[in-house]
Amino acid sequence: MSERLEPGDIAPAFTLPDADGNEVSLASHKGRKVIVYFYPAALTPGCTKQACDFTDNLAVLAQAGYDVIGVSPDKPEKLAKFREQENLKVTLVGDPSKEVLAAYGAFGEKKLYGKTVTGVIRSTVVVDEDGKVERAFYNVKATGHVAKIIKDLGI
């Protein structure tokens, strides 16, 4: 089981390919706050709802100084299909090795339909301008989560 991050921790650095195969790194967002959210799989109902919620609220979040990066174990080709099919505006990156997911505590044992399985734990980590964890939410629900983040951040 990977360690969960706590406020004040240094956010693990990462560089991952986006839907177009371009590298996206946390370091390139230094000086801005970043909402990094982790989801199990592109093109699934819950993950689609969550990605659409982030897309619908992107302008509000950006105006408040937040960038948004969605991380899943998907390959860039699947992320591109997801982005096109759902008209998503959020930056989506793939972590097929699951190393970044694990570093953020977003991969490990979880309950799924009453069974214990190993997989992506739907999570969101808010990183401040200096690269430190401001907030960390684990085992979040896809529906209503973006509204909760906006409320919790006072946006």
C-alpha distances in angstroms, 129 versus 12, 14, 86?
A: 14, 15, 30
CB-CB contact of 129 with 30 (8 Å): yes
CB-CB contact of 125 with 132 (8 Å): no
Helices (H) and strands (E) in the chain, counts: 5, 9
| Nearest partner of 122 among 57, 45, 17, 64, judged by Cα | 45
Active site residue 47: yes
* Catalytic entry in 47, 61, 120, 146: 47
Q: Which residues are catalytic?
A: 47
